Structure 1
Amino acid sequence: MFPKIVQQRLASVGIEFNGPHEWDPQIVNDGFYHRVIAEKSLGLGESYMDGWWNCRRVDELLCRILKCGVEYDIKGSPRYALLFLPAKLLNLQSRSRSRIVAEGHYDIGNDFFFSFLDPLHQYSCAYFKDTDDLAQAQVNKLELIAKKLELRKGDNLLDIGCGWGGLAKYMALRYGCRVTGVNISKEQLAFAREECKGLPVEFIDCDYREIKGEYDKIISVGMFEHVGQKNFRAYMETAHRVLRKDGLFLLHTIGSNASGLNCDPWLNKYIFPNGALPSIAQMSSSAEGLFVIEDLQNLCDNYDKTLLCWYRNFIKAWPAFADKYGERFRRMWEYYLLCCAGVFRARGVQVFQLLMTRERDARRQPAAAMR
């Protein structure tokens, strides 16, 4: 079993091992306890993947675990501490390593992702304003972005990390923009190019550091999480270099409450290799001398809802993928979607939208900053 202090913390938020509540973990293998003590979040996630425990509401379990702060009472083994060393010593998101996450995550199969995403294939936080429908909430998100960027016909829009091209297609059709999408995922780019045929949209396979040209507006959704703390400044310098005078730059990213070097070890190993969630302090310091932060909005509650929508769609679609991916993969994705929902619900991480202008342009304040 866990040490007494850990048991007390968990009991304080109503967590009972093998208990009656839907968020109570049902332990199948007693090795679970030692594994979690030794490897903390990595052991918790891996033991779920291996079927060592089950839970009807993994999202609520993770939410309660974070709320009681029990992770601070589990020190972990020396082996666990070593997991953080590479991020301190190396640039894990260098040009030569930048494609690791694309190959390991985004290229696993478009049909799999499309089975749980909305029709515009938005793999980022939706905006559930006046709706509970995922598809409408993703349109709401795109409209919120367009409003903040003051998009209009003829704008030359750069989409850094363009995914499957849904945003580019929407902005070209709805607002008459010329869009350039930059990505390093071969699967995403192949689909995006086919999807946007005949539109004023171009997709380029290149690292963000290699972007050329000039753009009236820049959007980056769900990309900054893959840049890494050692490259935050380079990212901002690239955006500043290619943004025209009086232009607008909107950065949409999951963010951490505290400055660090990388993300959760389980997510880093199985979902987003070499990911790093930026804090407000890190984003602000990396933009210093380059951009004025005109507006900051936190959409955190919306990501909890988004993830639960994806999870429900994933469960419905899973029978078509079971033979291809297998049971351990199913448990991995189930844990990923639900644990992330719980983390957002507990306010362990946030979703930030930063609207920025170039510092020395002295342009008028954007309308979105005066809401």
Structure 2
Amino acid sequence: MTSDPRIGPVPLPDSRARRVVEQLLEGSGVTLNGSADWDIQVHHPDLFSRVLHQGTLGLGEAYMDGWWECPRIDEMACRLLMHGLGERAHTPSERLMYRLQTGFFNLQSKARAYIVGEAHYDLGNDLFECMLDPTMCYSCGYWKRANSLHQAQLDKLDLVARKLELEPGMRVLDIGCGWGSFAEYAAHHYRAEVTGITISREQAALSRERCQGLPVEILLQDYRDLDGRYDRIVSIGMFEHVGHRNYATYFTTVERLLEADGLFLLHTIGSNNSDITADPWVNKYIFPNGVLPSAMHIARAAEGHLLLEDWQNFGADYDPTLMAWLANIDANWHQIADAYSERIKRMFRYYLSVCAGAFRARDLQLWQLVFSRGRAGRYDAPR
């Protein structure tokens, strides 16, 4: 059942479900049918029971269905998370189901590796071109000196290249190359020879087009099937799809592929705790089978394989990155509106807004780590 948001808020029902929701919101600064931009405007009387029964999945789906509105979902999400509602928003059945799944199955096995590519990255290159900047970077920008999304992404690519100490002729492996952002940058600006891999057919096609004439090879391949040796390895925004059952395999693979004096840079979103969980709405609609690593997960998986040289956290920079993507979606959607439904637009608006709020609340982190195989000499990481 859907609701038309144009009809305006509905009178709040006098129900137990509504009272429970109001008690949960008390003290957060978020109210029902209030006047603040971060208040929830209720458009369907069954919203409260839906959220209580289905948790964050019900909340996200209800927004997609037009059951509620909020001008600043990012601010709403930030306030709710800082109020401590993040963990309480997941129902016991959600937690049990995910623990059973991850306990008995490898959700990120080679046989399942292409699911997220087909479900999310293959939605359409035109959609992501509408949302991203000209670099087509679908990862956190570096806003230390930048005042625009495009400059933040260029500064991020430059930061990665400098951390890797790239030199002309180096053989570089890009695990999860996306639409070829770093491959193109490294080949064009540093004359490196880059092999990029992705599990998305749409990404592979556009990457090859963008990197024409450069020493870049783009492969539609799983990281576990790679062979060869590389002077530098980089992975930007891909580790979130690896899964805890495969962390050891991932680092074993990187160790096998990296030259003795090589460097490996890992750029990943990070979790503040080591629980193996996933938000059910994000898992269903955005990144199927995605799992965020904790600092402990990474350190344990890398131990015995690679030497940690540097660890930088600039998670706060994901907030302006996501808000810039949201602004692009709003400004450019008319260009693709005939190809995508209003529900898809609401799905992306909700996803970008909630994630921005989560980074603003410091509920999520963004890490860049540099590893070596224990090469001689000192490593000084640029900032």
CA contact (8 A) 2:98 2:277 kept: no
Identify if the C-alpha distance between structure 1 residues 72 and 115 changes in structure 2 by more than 3 Å, giving closer, same or farther.
Answer: closer
What corresponds to 1:267 in structure 2?
282
Q: Secondary structure at the match of 2:166?
A: coil
What corresponds to 2:195 in structure 1?
180
CA contact (8 A) 1:6 1:73 kept: no
What corresponds to 1:291 in structure 2?
306
Distance 1:223 1:57 in 2: 28
Q: How much is the aligned-residue C-alpha RMSD, in angstroms?
A: 1.7
2:254 partner amino acid: A
1:328 partner amino acid: R
Alignment of 1:184-333 (within 5 A): 184-333=199-348
1:48 partner amino acid: Y
The structural deviation recorded for 1:124 is 0.4
When the two structures are superposed, what TM-score results if normalisation uses the length of structure 2? Answer: 0.92
Distance 1:229 1:129 in 2: 31
2:58 equivalent to 1:58:
no
CA contact (8 A) 1:23 1:61 kept: yes
CA contact (8 A) 2:56 2:89 kept: no
What corresponds to 1:368 in structure 2?
381
The structural deviation recorded for 1:158 is 0.7
Q: Secondary structure at the match of 1:96?
A: helix
The structural deviation recorded for 1:229 is 0.5
Alignment of 1:110-189 (within 5 A): 110-189=125-204
The structural deviation recorded for 1:321 is 2.1
Q: Secondary structure at the match of 1:367?
A: coil
Identify if the C-alpha distance between structure 1 residues 334 and 367 changes in structure 2 by more than 3 Å, giving closer, same or farther.
Answer: same
2:93 equivalent to 1:78:
yes
Distance 1:6 1:232 in 2: 38
Identify if the C-alpha distance between structure 1 residues 233 and 287 changes in structure 2 by more than 3 Å, giving closer, same or farther.
Answer: same
Deviations 1:110-150 (A, max 9, x none): 11101121111000000112222111110000111111111
Deviates more, 1:132-141 or 1:11-20: 11-20
CA contact (8 A) 2:270 2:292 kept: yes
2:213 partner amino acid: G
Identify if the C-alpha distance between structure 1 residues 38 and 81 changes in structure 2 by more than 3 Å, giving closer, same or farther.
Answer: farther
Distance 1:263 1:367 in 2: 35
CA contact (8 A) 2:141 2:317 kept: yes
The structural deviation recorded for 1:5 is 7.1
Distance 2:79 2:269 in 1: 21
Deviates more, 1:75-84 or 1:258-267: 75-84
Distance 2:217 2:97 in 1: 42
The structural deviation recorded for 1:294 is 1.0
Identify if the C-alpha distance between structure 1 residues 154 and 92 changes in structure 2 by more than 3 Å, giving closer, same or farther.
Answer: same
Distance 1:11 1:291 in 2: 47
Identify if the C-alpha distance between structure 1 residues 215 and 336 changes in structure 2 by more than 3 Å, giving closer, same or farther.
Answer: same
The structural deviation recorded for 1:88 is 2.2
CA contact (8 A) 2:170 2:193 kept: yes
Distance 2:118 2:23 in 1: 42
Q: Percent identity?
A: 49
2:124 equivalent to 1:106:
no
Q: Secondary structure at the match of 2:276?
A: coil
CA contact (8 A) 2:175 2:196 kept: yes
Q: Secondary structure at the match of 1:216?
A: strand
2:270 partner amino acid: G
The structural deviation recorded for 1:185 is 0.9
Provide structure 2 residue ranges, at least 5 long, that are not aligned to the other structure.
1-15
Q: Secondary structure at the match of 1:12?
A: coil
2:50 equivalent to 1:47:
no
CA contact (8 A) 1:182 1:205 kept: yes
The structural deviation recorded for 1:78 is 3.1
The structural deviation recorded for 1:337 is 0.6
Identify if the C-alpha distance between structure 1 residues 202 and 75 changes in structure 2 by more than 3 Å, giving closer, same or farther.
Answer: closer
CA contact (8 A) 2:18 2:48 kept: no
The structural deviation recorded for 1:4 is 6.1
CA contact (8 A) 1:66 1:348 kept: yes
Distance 1:45 1:74 in 2: 12
Q: Secondary structure at the match of 1:324?
A: coil
The structural deviation recorded for 1:70 is 2.4
CA contact (8 A) 1:256 1:278 kept: yes
Q: Secondary structure at the match of 1:151?
A: coil
Distance 1:7 1:292 in 2: 50
1:25 partner amino acid: I
2:36 equivalent to 1:21:
yes
Distance 1:10 1:68 in 2: 8
CA contact (8 A) 1:262 1:274 kept: no
Distance 1:8 1:64 in 2: 15
Equivalent residue in structure 1 for 2:105, among 62, 85, 90: 90
